[in-house]
Every structure is written in structure tokens, then in C-alpha cells.
Structure 1
Amino acid sequence: MSPGAAYSAGAVARRLGVAVTTLRTWHQRYGMGPSLHEPGHHRRYTEQDIERLELMQRLIGEGVAPGEAARWASNRSHHTVLIGVADAGDSAAAVRGLLRAALRLDAPSVRHRVAEAVRALGVVAAWDNVLRPVLSVIGDRHAATGGLIEVEHLVSGCVSAVLGAVPRPPEGVPVRLLLACANEEQHSLPIEALAAALAASGVPVRSLGARVPPAALLAAVRRTGPAGVLVWSHHVSTAAPDQLEGILVERGRPLVVAAAGPGWDRPFVPSGVVFPDSLAEALVILTSVLT
């Protein structure tokens, strides 16, 4: 089938091996219908629509509830992760397996699958291709419905435990990097992942964890004199720019002050702050000050 073609419900049903009535149900209940519409004609399925349906079908076949499978498949970024990351090994299977275990609240399986992803892919690729996509889907579902709180807590705890178990550099290696969550920011897993990735590269860090008041952050900078500081904010409500201003005017300020996460409104952040857009980029930025 050519990339620009469009297909009837009957053609798609034959390709998937399902009844046309099943496609209609998926459309009506979950919004997984055809997206191409031409005036005077029935809606038609595109290749992209079919790929989403194929992904949904695979997830259902592996035990994911249809509604969850549809929400997963309809998210294009997660879709890309599942079917397009060949260089990260079998990331698709890892994501599906972790999601199934999470929805069952199977803590031993979740922890095992997280550990296997980190072992097989390394911290950065495991975070980008397996852990973050699963956490994002669960978080999006919670934001939309208020549900899956117990799933989010269980997965977060397992991920935190595995990241914390990544071997740290030996004592005596100078600690020149400081990581912290913004004031009242409770989402600490991203800086835990960064700390683990740095540790795997032989770089130790000081991590202050969640909900670090500006005064405490500034005190830590003064006491330890880090070469690089990174502050994480997940939401705009925790990303007050004044948390960074004090560090920037400090005598002997760090060589790099980084603001990471989607919470920061960049035009309002003081000049001199850098914005890593990924775990890998944060790793490069922070280690650059150590050479």
C-alpha cells in the first residue's frame, strides 16, 4: 500500500483481520476512526490511521484494556517510540511489557522490567525509549481522569529504586555537579535519571531531590561551589525565575546554570541560563564543565 493512499473500512478490516463492526466500535468508543475526509465521500483511513489501529490491536492482544490501548496508540510521540526505535533494541516489547505489569500492579515484574531496560539499553536510552513513555502515558491518564494514582506511585517507586541502584563512582572522586528540583516540585525522577546516567559515566553528583526552597538551593551552592547546577521543573507553578537569579549573581557562580523540564517559561528566565531539552543533552552540558 502506498504511503499517500486512502482506504475504506472494508479494506482496513481485511488488513487487520477484524470485522467492520469492530472498526466502527473502536471509532465510536475510542476515537480511533478514519481521519481523511473529502466532501461528498465517506471518511477514509490513511496509512497513519492503520498503523495506530495495528498498534492498538497488538496492545489489546497483550492484555492492555482497549481504552488504554487506544489512548496509547493515539499519542503520536508514544507511537513513534513503540514502532520506530530500532537502534534501541526491542524497546517496543519492553514498553508493552512494562505497561502491562504496571496496570496489573505487579511490583516485582515492574522492577525487573525496569532493571532489564537499564541493563540492556543504558540509563539514557532506557529513560527515553521505555521509562519516560510509560510514565507519560500513566501521567496523562491520571491528569485526564484522576485514575491510575496507584499505578503511577508503584511505577515511580520501582523506577526510583532501580536508578538508585546504578553503581556510583568511588569515594574520593570530586563532586562538582548539583541537581535539584524547583521549589515545591515533587517530580524528582528526571533528576534521579540524570544522576544515574552521570554515575554510569563515572561522574558523581549531589542531588537535593524534590521541593528544594530557593534559600536552601542557594545555601548548597555557597557551601559546595559546584561547577554546574541543574534545576528541574515539571510545571509552570513551580518554575519561578527568582530561584535561578540568586545563583547567577553569586560570587564564584557555577560555570553552567541549567533549567530543565517543561515548567520553565524561557523568555522570563534570566539570561545566562541554559535549557537542555533531553537527558542526553543535559548529560553533555553538565559534563562539559568538568573537562
Structure 2
Amino acid sequence: MDREPGLGVGAVARRLGVAAATLRTWDRRYGIGPSGRSPGGHRRYTPADLARLEAMQRSIIAGAPPAEAARAALNEPPGAPPSPRGHGAGGNRIPLDEPSTGSDPAEARGLARAAMALDAPAMARLIRTAIARAGVAEAWDGLIVPVLTGIGRKYAASGDCVEVEHLLSTVLLGCLAEVAPPAEPLNPRPVLLACAPEEQHSLPVYALAAALAETGVAAVLLGARVPAPALAAAIRRTGPNAVLVWSQTARTGDPGWLDGLPGSRPVVRLLVGGPGWNRDRLPSTARLVTALPEAVTEIRSALTRP
């Protein structure tokens, strides 16, 4: 019999990188909880309990539904190696991009694990920590993009992980919205951020708005699928310093309509971002930006232009 008093739910949550509420849910729904008791009668996780939870978490990360992962972990003898069958195959893990220089690969793996476990509190904690430590641009390039790209690859290969992408996107939007510009931003006239007509991938423009807010710049987010006439009307109405239009896919990257956008007084700086644009057909009035820090630099320079 183990002589150790065991671990409480908070200690196990920290060790596994999940929320304590998630552990309580797994205990209540699937019966995979603490089997030990402290001298005072409180429930405690024994080493065997912890091994089962680690096995369950491995299966979830590999793509198994929580109920199936719990059954497999409860039926697996203590100390047994991870099972290669079914959803537990290691090849079903999220294939992560190599994080950018200066980022923490373990942090990206942790976010991927939390995403696969649908653990929203853990995702939010990791994203907020990365933003607070390194800023939005580095957190975006080094942590968020590798995980989102990996989920996209998994979906393309198997059709799985739609729910993972949706929840991670929702959590991410909430974290980005917390980065607000100061009450008196640097720009008296707005910066407009929009997606190309029919472009639904809007997360990058929300990330750009948060990165601008960190530097004291306020932006107006028009969001996904902005029709050309609507963007033109917004430009005429607000007289922005700069406009950035995002295209993620080639289907939305025909730039022929950009020449029809109105200017303003002084002349608006027109930026385009994203991999979808047909670069050979971009009008001379549009400048392509290929990275989040570059977009921030270009927009800030538009604010200080004579």
C-alpha cells in the first residue's frame, strides 16, 4: 500500500496543466478520480490515480473522446505503456509548427494539450501568460499560430478537431479583447481593420488590433466578410489614417476591387495582409505586409506621417 498521503485536486491540476474543475468533471462523469484519503479524511490522488489520469490525458491529446479515454485508462494495468490502438495512436497528435525564435516549445505543446482536452480555463491561462510576458505579436507568432496551424493540418488530414478550433478561437478572441488601448489613444482618426469580401478568417485582424492597442493605437474592427461597398462607406465616413484588409485564402484574394476604394484627406495608407492575395495583381496603392510586427510598424508610421 502506498504510504504517501497523496495529492489534492489543485496539485494534480497544476501537474497535468488542466483546470481543477476539469478533474472534478472527469471524476463525476467517468469515475476517474481520487481513491486515497488523507489522515483528516479528505480525498487524495494516489500515484496510481495520477498514472491513470496521465494515461487519459495522453489519449485525449491523441484525439480520443474523454469517455473513451477514461475507460481505456481505468482498464489499463498500472505501469503499462501507452496503448497504440485506435485513437490513442501518437500519429493523431496535433502536428505543431516549429515555434519562432525566442518562444517556448513547451508552451505551445501545453496549449495544444489544453485545446485537445477542450480545457478553456487552461487555454486562457496559457494565452494570457504569453501575452503578458512577451506581448501580443510574439505570443501570436510563437504560440498561437503554431497551434492553430497544427489543428488546421489535423482537420485537413482527418476532418477532426472542428470543436477544438472553435473553442480555441473563442477563448483567444476573449483574451485579445482584454488588451485595450488607452483612454486617449495616439491616433485621433481611426485605423480600419477588415477582412476581404467573403473572407471568414478574422482572428488575425483581432490579433493586430490587440498588438496595436499595446502601443497606444486604437483600431476599428469591421470583422469578417466585409463587402467592398461597406468598406468604402466606412472609409468615407471616418477618414482613417490607415486601412488593412486581410485575405486568408486564394478564393478571397482577388485584389481587383481595391482600386475602387476611396482615399481620404490626408490620403489613406492601404495595407493588405494574409497569404490569400494574388500578389502579382495588387494595385500600386496597396502595400503588402507579411508579419504582425510589420503591420504594426506600417500603421504607426501612417499616424506620424506629415
Normalised TM-score (structure 2): 0.67
CA distance in 2, matches of 1:135, 1:172: 31
Cα 1:251–1:102 change in 2 (3 A) is: closer
Cα 1:138–1:252 change in 2 (3 A) is: same
**2:208 partner amino acid:** L
The answer (yes or no) to whether the contact 1:175–1:206 under 8 Å persists in 2 is no
The answer for the alignment partner of 1:209 in structure 2 is: 223
The answer (yes or no) to whether the contact 2:94–2:150 under 8 Å persists in 1 is no
Report deviation, 1:171: 4.8
**1:141 partner amino acid:** K
Q: Does 1:279 align with 2:305?
A: no
CA distance in 2, matches of 1:224, 1:154: 34
The answer (yes or no) to whether the contact 1:182–1:243 under 8 Å persists in 2 is no
Size of the aligned set, in residue pairs, is 220
CA distance in 2, matches of 1:172, 1:121: 22
CA distance in 2, matches of 1:252, 1:175: 11
| Aligned mate of 2:153, from 140, 146, 163 | 140
Matches within 5 A, 1:92-171: 92-171=105-184
CA distance in 2, matches of 1:69, 1:153: 18
Q: Does 1:67 align with 2:68?
A: no
Report deviation, 1:69: 4.1
Gaps of 5+ in 1: 1-59, 73-77
Normalised TM-score (structure 1): 0.71
Secondary structure in structure 2 of the residue aligned to 1:259? strand
Q: Deviations over 1:260-284 (max 9, x none)?
A: 0001011112122111110011111
CA distance in 2, matches of 1:172, 1:100: 37
**1:121 partner amino acid:** A
The answer for the alignment partner of 1:229 in structure 2 is: 243
CA distance in 2, matches of 1:168, 1:251: 24
CA distance in 1, matches of 2:226, 2:136: 25
Q: Deviations over 1:139-195 (max 9, x none)?
A: 121122221000000000011100011122215751331110111111111000000
Report deviation, 1:207: 1.0
Cα RMSD between the aligned structures? Answer: 2.1
Report deviation, 1:70: 7.8
Report deviation, 1:242: 3.1
Secondary structure in structure 1 of the residue aligned to 2:198? coil
The answer for the alignment partner of 1:258 in structure 2 is: 271
Secondary structure in structure 2 of the residue aligned to 1:115? helix
Report deviation, 1:197: 0.4
| Aligned mate of 1:175, from 160, 166, 189 | 189
The answer (yes or no) to whether the contact 2:185–2:217 under 8 Å persists in 1 is no
**2:297 partner amino acid:** V
**Over 6 Å off, 4+ runs:** none
Identity in percent: 44
The answer (yes or no) to whether the contact 1:181–1:231 under 8 Å persists in 2 is yes
Report deviation, 1:243: 3.3
